[in-house]
Structure 1
Amino acid sequence: MKLGKWTLLAAIFGGLYITEASAQQPYAVQPVGFHQAVACDCGEPACGCETTACEPACGCEDPACGCETVSCDPACGCEDLAACDSGCDSACDAPGGCGGSCCLGDCDLGDPCTLFGEHDNFSVGGWLQLGYHTKANGLFNTRPDELQLQQAWLFAEKTLDTSDGFDFGGRIDYLYGTDGQNTQAFGSDPRGWDNDWDNGGDYGSAMPQLYGEVGYGDLSIKAGHFYTIIGWEVVPATGNFFYSHAYTFNNSEPFTHTGALATYNASEDVTVWGGYSLGWDSGFDDNGDAFLGGASLGLTDDVTLIYAAVGGRFGEARFNGVEKGYMHSIVADVAVTDSLQYIFQSDLLDTEDVAGDPARQTFGINQYLIKTLSDCWGVGGRFEWWNTETAGNDSDVYALTMGLNYRPHANVVIRPEIRWDWDDDQVAGLEDGEEQTTFGIDSIVTF
């Protein structure tokens, strides 16, 4: 691994590129539903708690407004949080400039609209994702400089409710778009299930989930075709903050498994997984034999540590007819504040072919920092270092992504981003060779 001193520091601290000032799985984060957090701390004398001397220009004309509703802003002395929460009619729009991020936080999205809704734990829905990006890097976004339908998604699900004992459920997902071919069961040989559902070029269909589930109390078991528990990013666009994907997600992690997986909620802070799969990224055929499992530990109220691993025979489609080995992902999810989330992820993959020769050896570190500004606005940064050793090639790839999430409506999220990729050895498929800059934007409409 070739890693310079400055890039090592960047890998460790790159996720802290965004600061407070500048700023679902089943998924680890729900970027389409931001939580508004307004700070109010009247513990400092500057807040005027001792005198409750509020300035009329700030909208606090009643001296009795006091510590419960007043938080001070250096721009004018105080602001009426009640007025801000009710729509910024007085305090936030005052000539004194009081309000700051409070006015940005004025966002009443209401409840999202649904075509079918939810009835007795049964729901049907989906979304459309349209995207555009200027450069390709082989990571899902495959058609640069053109508007593309990336995900036209439909699902039907019955969720488990074991509060009264035994229950059953299941889920089916269907996907069409340029993300379809990336999500098919391409790991088997001959390739089966949904792998031949292509529609010319990069478009295609996929059925990434089809499973049944039973549960009793704190234990549940799903059997069928389902998403992996590995990693932090996911295939569904609604489960990621960023429009683009990380190298680790695309090159070092499985997307789906076929088999059975048990989930046991040992306590409010501990969840354990364990099961068996027919390799990874394969359909309902005998393609592999692998253990899939892990655990989620709530270390504190603000820190969650997740370990997930898969080991065994992965598939028959590559590397002289078989790939076997071990892969794990370790994710630390930290709530720095009520509105600031930091995620650190480390992935390790080590496999060999049928002859016992190295097939894939990769290691990656991903860091994410996501700042919630309001229900409508969020800003985030992602920094990745990905190392790969395949067929004698040792390469280090780096990527820095800065992005926004904007929700003009409860059913709509718009995600513009700018991304910088650079590769020491020109093996990552970058259009400009060693480095490139990419602008991307997409919109997701849920129903």
Structure 2
Amino acid sequence: MGVSFGEILWSFKKPRQQGSWIAFSVLWLCSIPLSVHAESAHAEEDIPLEARKVKDGTEVHAVTQKNEPGSFSQWVEGITVHGQVEGGIIANPARPEDGLNFGSLLTDHANQAQLNQMTLTIAKDLDPQLNKDYQLGFDIQLLYGSDARYFHLLGMDTNMITQRYQLIPSEAYLTGHLPWLTEGGVDVKAGIMTAIMGVEGLDPTTRPFYSLAYTSNYSVPFEHLGILTTFHVDETFDVVTGIDSGNQTTIGSGDNNGEPAGYFGVTLNNLAGGDLTIVQLSRIGPENPTRTFGPRANSAMRYWNDIDVTYKLSEEATLTGEVNYLHDEGLRADVYSFVGFMAYKLDPELTFNLRTELYRDNTGAFVSNFQTNTGYTRALRGISVPSVSAPPTTYGALTLGLTYKPDLGHFSDVFSLFEIRPEIRFDRSLNGTRPFNASRNAGQFTFGGDAVIGF
């Protein structure tokens, strides 16, 4: 008898194996041959002569300490501390009575400036030049702001702050490189991490617009507690797998059902002379709460599927297409969409961005707005909360914007980044429904933007 993918995932949640993720991390760390050397232990012959200079008749030796793979200095070198602040406003001339821009989460409040996120990140990244060696890194990021309302993990931080500006550990994971099987080896992450599916992520510097597409708001997961592996088969082909407790859940009372979920997919890099990249990711697992669906929530699967294609058309122009399909057995719902992006560099400091989207919410179960600061996370638990939704609707959206990223000059000693991103956006129902502006209109026009400062 064969073993199903769901049975494999379930094995990680059995009581006798609930500590398997921790055990995996401990075994992984113990398998790395750390060789710690104090500076005083280096013999003179271990310090190579890098250069020999003569000054005023005296020989001066410029020396460099070896940094052998596995040495203590290799593990502590490269630790960085980075801060970033993002704030913005989306204006809505229709001034909806409920104060909400329908179809948006992170930019849901109309005509109100807000601090979206203020982050502090301490990290040690893996070095791709050292793929033949064992490597260990980490990433710890705290996020404070209005975006935190939608990136909580149940059972961890949902009741820390209940105002609009909230605090979360958006990332807290160990990462390692294992030089196994192929020249590229295997990269592993374990801990709290933002979801990997989709084009537009939580970090504003990785996406072209302040507002998000419907697909990025409603058809991709946000946050995970779990393990993710990337197997570098060769320079072109990567295989991605992962297991986690579910979208924005933890374990025990922090899980809204009794089953885990997992990723599988592939990445094709450096195609068409390095100009083409294709990422295909699928995800399977139950995501609905037992509080609402009862025991059926543990067997009713949600299937997420996303394909992203990026092509560098020229030195100035880059095209990206995203195709997404989601099916939820518990909700008996289907959502499918296409998002197209174009970025055209007008000069070194200014880029024009375009986004167009066609999004179908087949039952009206996904596109909604929450009217309280804790409504989203309470809904994840299966608690009834005040929200605004729409009947089955086909949405069309067009967004135009600019990214202005000036040369910081002397200020680069203090700031690592400064960018301003104005945008205008047109949303419309294409099948006659009226979901926008407190259910008054078939269309919605918004404009605004954000600013991002890094240091």
TM-score range, shorter chain: 0.5 to 0.7
Deviations 1:298-329 (A, max 9, x none): 33222211101111222427752535221110
1:354-393 equivalent positions in 2, closer than 5 A: 358=332, 360-390=333-363, 393=391
Match of 2:217 in 1: 250
TM-score normalised by length of structure 1: 0.68
Alignment pair present for 1:333 and 2:296: no
Instruction: Tell me whether 1:167 sits opposite 2:154 in the alignment.
Output: no
1:223 is aligned, of 179, 184, 190, to: 190
- Structure 1 residues 272 and 419: CA distance shift in structure 2, 3 A: same
Cα distance between partner residues in 2 of 1:430 and 1:364: 23
How far does residue 163 in structure 1 lie from its aligned partner after superposition?
3.4
The answer to whether the 8 Å contact 2:123/2:140 transfers is yes
Alignment of 1:261-410 (within 5 A): 261-284=228-251, 285-286=254-255, 287=257, 288-298=259-269, 299-301=271-273, 302-316=275-289, 320-321=293-294, 322=297, 324-353=301-330, 358=332, 360-390=333-363, 393-410=391-408
Q: What is the identity percentage for the equivalent residue pairs of Structure 1 and Structure 2?
A: 27
Structure with higher helix content = 2
Inter-partner Cα distance in structure 1 for 2:237 and 2:124: 24
1:164-243 superposed matches below 5 A: 164-185=132-153, 191-200=154-163, 202-217=164-179, 218-243=185-210
TM-score, structure 2 normalization:
0.66
* Contact 2:401–2:421 under 8 Å retained in 1: yes
| Contact 1:176–1:203, Cα closer than 8 Å, also in 2 | yes
Count of aligned positions: 320
> Larger relative CO (CA 8 A, sep 6+): 1 or 2?
1
Deviation at 1:226, TM superposition (A): 0.9
Query: 1:427 offset after TM fit, Å?
Result: 6.5
Instruction: Give the equivalent residue in structure 1 for 2:423.
Output: 417
8 Å CA contact 2:81, 2:120 repeated in 1: yes
Deviation at 1:258, TM superposition (A): 1.4
Correspondence for 1:149? 115
> Gaps (5+ residues) in structure 2?
1-74, 93-100, 180-184, 366-390, 409-416
Q: What RMSD, in angstroms, separates the aligned Cα atoms of the two structures?
A: 2.1
Work out the CA distance in 2 between the residues paired with 1:397 and 1:318. 31
Are residues 444 and 170 of structure 1, via their aligned partners in 2, closer, same or farther at CA, if it must alter by over 3 Å?
same
The letter of the residue matching 2:159 is D
Q: Structure 1: where are the runs of 5+ without partners?
A: 1-117, 186-190
Question: What is the rounded CA distance, in whole Å, between the counterparts of 1:119 and 1:207 in structure 2?
Answer: 23
C-alpha displacement at 1:291, in angstroms? 2.0
- Aligned equivalent of 2:18: none
Q: 1:381 to 1:422 in 2, by over 3 A?
A: same
